[in-house]
Structure 1
Amino acid sequence: MRGNRPEEFPDDFWIPVPLDTNNITLFSPYLVPQDHLGSTGLFYSMSGLMFFLFAAGTGVNTLTIACTAQYKKLRSHLNYILVNLAVANLLVSSVGSFTCFYCFAFRYMILGPLGCKIEGFTATIGESICLWSLAVIAFERWLVVCKPLGNFIFKPNHAIACCALTWVFALVAAVPPLTGWSRYIPEGLQCSCGPDWYTTNNKFNNESYVMFLFCFCFAVPFCTIVFCYSQLLFMLKSAAKAQAESVSTQKAEREVTRMVVVMVLGFLVCYLPYASFALWVVNNRGQTFDLRLATIPSCLSKASTVYNPVIYILLNKQFRSCIRQMLGMSKDDDDMSSTSQSVTEVSKVGPA
């Protein structure tokens, strides 16, 4: 058993106990079960939840990618971005969620420091791509529907460039902890890993990295989403007001409003708890908190691999139709169009 002073611990083992963030745990999360943090039932329940997220997230996102590869009519500029989102979700579910499922079953980070770094890096890069992809989707809708650049046409090569940019941004966010700016360590119940946002080791400049991550990977994408969708709603409401007698226009306006609300709420449910909790800890050093609470935001962010596809893909009529065809559940229906396409049609009928 190690001593109580921080300097006697290797950097990777410097983890606070749940009731006092100024103390150091005597039980390495890489060597022994962390039963002092919760009951065995809690760990096994979390393992079951992570297995569900792994199975569902891997399944639905693999299906999305396979469906796009099979049906040429899905290869539009918007769907390229949706596939990029599916790839990022697949990365998080197949590596991040599976690692958590495996480690929760053993009740500690059995994969060791290297496995922790791999899981933390993979989850960070995948979730960063998801965040920026959601912002790109909102930006694309704003350009196509509201036409702020006049007759500019958003083409597939523009979508591919935006997808590549999301990977660049994700690498900018995920690489620093591997090079000494912060670090990847076990979090919550010590069976999942992420950037160090709760220890007070100034050696790694954790505070500055967390602030950078909050601004770059949460605040900027969120502001982009809110701005673009608010402009989209204003445009649609104007079109609906000018076409008050048109039942189809009014119906489309209601459908798009509902979808936008679901999109924004889904974004907040996925990422706001994690971002706000980490920000609170950074700005309230010395305040006690229960480390088990950190597991909830981590699970919500990984759950995005399941309900992001539901919101952005399965609610897309064209995607849904092709998936049903691929699974043999319906016949081909070339007249089926996506909700996003109907939004574009409505936006063309603006006030004179």
Structure 2
Amino acid sequence: MRKGQTEFQEDFFIPIPLDTNNITALSPFLVPQDHLGHHGVFMTMAAFTFFLFIGGTAINLLTILCTVQFKKLRSHLNYILVNLAIANLLVSFFGSSLACYSFFNKYFIFGSTGCKIEGFASTLGGMVGLWSLSVVAFERWLVICKPLGNFTFKTQHAIVGCIIPWLFGNMAALPPLFGWSRYIPEGFQCSCGPDWYTTDNKYNNESYVAFLFCFCFAVPFGTIVFCYGQLLITLKSAAKAQADSASTQKAEREVTKMVVVMVFGFLVCWGPYASFAVWVVYNRGAPFDLRLATIPSCLSKASTVYNPVIYVLMNKQFRACMMKMVFGKNIDEDEASSQVTQVSSVGPEK
């Protein structure tokens, strides 16, 4: 933003001309934000967030229902995938759905209180999902690479692995409700998130963004890279020792592909959001288009769809159960069991 061309309000922040006396004429809680984009842009975003709401709700609800119906899916290592599905549903219900309706109306129609609810729920669900991904990686590292020797993964370990993301998620999402940063409309002003636009010392936004970047992006990402890196090293050693084993060589290729997809998916989901927020906070005075904030915001919400695709639908056992539940289609149990066993010894499939 150019210096001198902004006004700071308690519940929102928008760039306005200096000669604008009536701030309510541009309030994202009261009037359509036509000055930020063409009607077609808002309708496109409404359609996109509607897709995220339908797709995210369907696939994550199906994950939970399948786990309830099929006993073979209720393994300790699958608990965290259900945890991830619940977090994704939180984002779909309170994030994508409210954003869709707001984009359709071209402003955040639910008001200041609704903004805080949507911002908190989306941040909480997003952070829980993000930390769940790192817990998945850590669990696989413990079970496959065996850094603790003959460690047995039990129910209590799985429960702790589900609780930790919710504790860390609340540590990230609660502060803006109590004065450390705040939740305000972002991008096209039709969805809400933490305030990383302003420098008002009242909210200490810079320290909050630094906290989010380090604790909620760098640490989980480092955990994922380290754990899956060790997993690949372990797998390559096994493949080298069993060079004549076709199943081991196939497992190496499959897990390598899945690890690349997982890391790439994590970066697509959170990389733009984290990078853009940090850039804005530490480049005060540099001009940027406020509307660009919509892109990383939507990419983070899109994780409710593509994370289940990566972590659930690429799991042969989950996929077989979903096919049976939805279409009544049975696949060869022996074939499924064989495929699962090959990859379960070296990767996220079970």
Can you list the C-alpha shifts for 1:275-296, whole angstroms capped at 9, x where unaligned? 0000000110111100111000
Using the aligned pairs only, state the percent identity.
69
Which residue matches 2:311? Answer: 312
Residue of structure 1 equivalent to 2:281: 282
Cα distance in 1 between the residues matched to 2:114 and 2:78: 33
Q: What does residue 345 of structure 2 align with? A: 345
Equivalent AA in structure 1 for residue 11 of structure 2: D
Is 1:112 aligned to 2:119, yes or no? no
Report the CA distance between 1:343 and its aligned residue: 3.3
Partner of 1:219: 218
| Unmatched segments (≥5 aa) in structure 1 | 19-23, 348-352
The Cα shift of 1:255 comes to: 0.4
Quote the residue 1:322 is aligned against. 321
User: How do residues 40-119 of structure 1 correspond to structure 2 at under 5 angstroms?
Assistant: 40-119=39-118
* Structure 2 Cα separation of the partners of residues 333 and 183 of structure 1: 53
Residues 79-135 of structure 1 deviation map (CA, whole Å, 9 limit, x = unaligned):
101000011011101210000000001100110000000000000000000110000
User: 1:346 deviation in Å?
Assistant: 5.5
List per-residue Cα deviations over 1:266-309 (Å, max 9, x = no partner). 00001100000000001101111001110000000000000000
Q: Contact between 1:321 and 1:333, CA under 8 Å: does it hold in 2?
A: no
Shift of 1:333: 4.9
Instruction: For 2:35 and 2:6, locate their aligned partners in 1 and report how far apart those are by CA, in whole Å.
Output: 20
Taking structure 1 as reference, are residues 17 and 235 closer, same or farther at Cα in structure 2, changes over 3 Å only? Answer: farther
Aligned to 1:350: none
| Structure-2 residue corresponding to 1:256 | 255
Q: Distance in 2 between matches of 1:257 and 1:186?
A: 40
* Residues 316, 339 of structure 1: 8 Å contact kept: no
Instruction: Tell me if 1:123 matches 2:122.
Output: yes
Whether the 8 Å CA contact 1:61–1:309 is kept in 2: the answer is yes
Under a length normalisation based on structure 1, what TM-score does the superposition of the two structures give? 0.92
Q: Distance in 2 between matches of 1:100 and 1:109?
A: 8
Question: Tell me, what secondary structure is at the counterpart of 2:119?
Answer: helix
3-state SS of 2:192 partner: strand
User: Over aligned residues, Cα RMSD in angstroms?
Assistant: 1.9
Matched ranges for 1:201-216 at <5 A: 201-216=200-215
**Alignment length, in residue pairs?**
338
In the alignment, the residues of structure 1 paired with residue 161 and residue 346 of structure 2 have an alpha-carbon distance, to the nearest angstrom, of 25
Give the letter for the 2:236 counterpart: K
Q: Aligned pair in 2 of structure 1 residues 194, 245: CA closer, same or farther (>3 Å)?
A: same
SS of equivalent to 2:26:
coil
The residue aligned with 2:158 is: 159
Read off the aligned partner of 1:322 and give its amino acid letter: C
Contact persistence 2:89–2:304 (CA under 8 A): yes
Distance 1:333 1:174 in 2: 45
State the one-letter code of the partner of 1:286.
Answer: G
Task: Write the mapping of 1:169-180 to structure 2, written as runs, cut at 5 A.
Answer: 169-180=168-179
Residues 1:35 and 2:29 aligned together:
no
Name the residue aligned to 2:20: none
Change (3 A) 1:332 1:281: same
1:339 offset after TM fit, Å? 6.5
The SS at the match of 2:184 is strand
* 1:82–1:105 distance in 2 versus 1, CA, 3 Å: same
The one-letter code of the counterpart of 2:112 is P
Letter in 2 for 1:108: Y
State whether residues 16 and 199 of structure 1, in contact with CA within 8 Å, keep that contact through their aligned partners in structure 2: no
Displacement of 1:6 in angstroms is 7.0
Instruction: Show structure 1 runs of 4+ deviating over 2 A.
Output: 4-7, 13-18, 331-347
Distance 1:16 1:248, change over 3 A: same
Distance 1:131 1:302 in 2: 11
**Aligned partner letter, 1:291:** L
The amino acid of 2:345's aligned partner reads E
Q: Distance in 1 between matches of 2:338 and 2:293?
A: 38
1:203 is displaced (CA, Å) by 1.1
